[in-house]
Amino acid sequence: MTLARGLPAPAQRTRRGAWLAAAGEWLRTHAGLVRKLQWLVVIVYAVLLLVPALLPLPERTAHLWNNLTLFAEFVFWGLWWPFVLLSMLLFGRLWCGVLCPEGTLTEWASKHGQGRAVPRWMRWGGWPFTAFVCTTVYGQMVSVYQYPKAALLVLGGSTVAALVVGYFYTRGKRAWCRYLCPVNGVFGLLSKLAPMHYRVDDLAWRRSLSAEPGAPIRISKRAVDCAPMQPLRSMQGASGCHMCGRCSGHHDAIALQWRSPAHEVVELGASEANTWQTALIVFGLLGVAIGAFHWSASPWFVALRQGLVTWLVERDIYWPLAGNAPWWLLTHYPEQNDVLNWLDGALLLAYIGATALVWGGLTLALLALAVRAAGPWCRQRLHHLAQALIPLAGVGVFLGLSTITLTLLRGEGIVLPWVNTLRLLLLLAASAWSLWLGWRILQRWQVGARRAALGSVPLVLALAWIASAWGWLFWWW
């Protein structure tokens, strides 16, 4: 087999490794084609986002194949978001580097903008958690999954913000994607589990730098335009890499290669862990996201609402029951019999917040107990162990989003009776994956088999507690 030109020696050891490295090289050598694909995605994205917002809401007899609004809803929420999340687990952030319209637009704006330095406020570590929580909650308030104007407001607002940030900051980079994108943190977490990454061979890099004048260097030492601003020589994980392939072959030292799905979490997790990342996992993906999927299906929410309505009416307090909030603040579509009043909005916020505190709080407590059971208390170990929950968190959000897919398919008369079985298998597989990662992390702490076994008991309880949230949504309610 003829190996691709410019691949580092480690990538040439196996036929499979050489094939993957060649795929990374293809992205670099076909950059022009990739750019055309990116702009095609931008056009499709703009049409599906803008046009439905200008059309009347679909009639009850409308279908996916004859109504652009329903088709766009299915594309965005039935296919796009759930399977973009899934792609992070399989390919890393390939979506970000090759297909994301916001990434393309913010980089384009940056090339033609003012090129200012990234300000200190933008580098705040809490943005991934804060942006995810605010976007998720606000999306529920305006029913972003159901109405095109709400989708335009949330997704379009994010896109406009990406353009503005790109125009003012950096030159030809993606400051928006690295610091402020609402799903940057989630994508970074899920890509830690991807079985491929751009590996940097430090020995090959140093060999390239020290080569004698005139010595053959297969790939030039050209500067690499890394849009997400990664430190290429010291890059070890995949959470910040957009998998665009621009650095492939750089210094004969970077190539797309296979790796263990546990590598980044187990081996690098301790150095990358921090409070905000743990908050995103525990209170974001395993708290706010669960509450966002729960509230509209929860009989607890309905019972609480009915009780409060009765209490207010008995006391002649009617203003919280007024449905006069604007559509961009609370869902307001009277022609669809879909209006949230002020009480609904307050309960929605309270329910999601309480869910985040209850599910996230108990999960965090069980993780802390696992750390303490395994040995002396160490906050960094808590943050490290929290990363073991990423598989279950990611699969849970995927299943939550897939309910939208299934709802839209049922509207077309397509019923999949095996879905609940598949959901159960996915939750069991994700739980087993998380437990395996947790066990590997406990072993890495070198606490001994007995201590590791003790630490795994609270971890199992945490996984069961998390899975119960989806049990309520899919089976028990």
* pLDDT tens profile 171-215: 999 999 999 999 999 999 999 999 999 999 999 998 888 755 555
pLDDT at position 225: 87
pLDDT per position as a tens digit, 446-476? 999 999 999 999 999 999 999 999 999 999 9
pLDDT at position 142: 97
pLDDT per position as a tens digit, 367-393? 999 999 999 999 999 999 999 999 999
What is the DSSP pairing of strand 332-333 with strand 254-258? unpaired
The least confident of 284-293, 410-419, 432-441 is 410-419
pTM of the predicted model as reported, rounded to 2 decimal places? 0.92
Strands (E), 148-252: 196-200
Q: Smallest Cα–Cα separation from 276: which of 84, 132, 85, 463? A: 132
Dihedral angle computed from the Cα positions of residues 164, 166, 168 and 172, in that order, rounded to the nearest 10 degrees: -160
pLDDT per position as a tens digit, 310-348? 999 999 999 999 999 999 999 999 999 999 999 999 999
User: Is a pLDDT exceeding 70 seen at residue 220?
Assistant: no
pLDDT at position 80: 92
pLDDT at position 273: 82
User: Is a pLDDT exceeding 90 seen at residue 216?
Assistant: no
User: Is a pLDDT exceeding 50 seen at residue 4?
Assistant: no
C-beta separation of 92 from 241 below 8 A: yes
User: Could you give phi then psi for residue 147, rounded to 5 degrees?
Assistant: -125, 135
**Helix 184-191 vs helix 390-411: crossing angle, to nearest 10:** 110
User: Is a pLDDT exceeding 50 seen at residue 9?
Assistant: no
**Helix 419-444 vs helix 361-374: crossing angle, to nearest 10:** 40
Average pLDDT of the segment spanning 240-253: 93
Q: How many CB atoms lie within 10 A of CB 477?
A: 11
Average pLDDT of the segment spanning 54-59: 93
User: Is a pLDDT exceeding 50 seen at residue 8?
Assistant: no
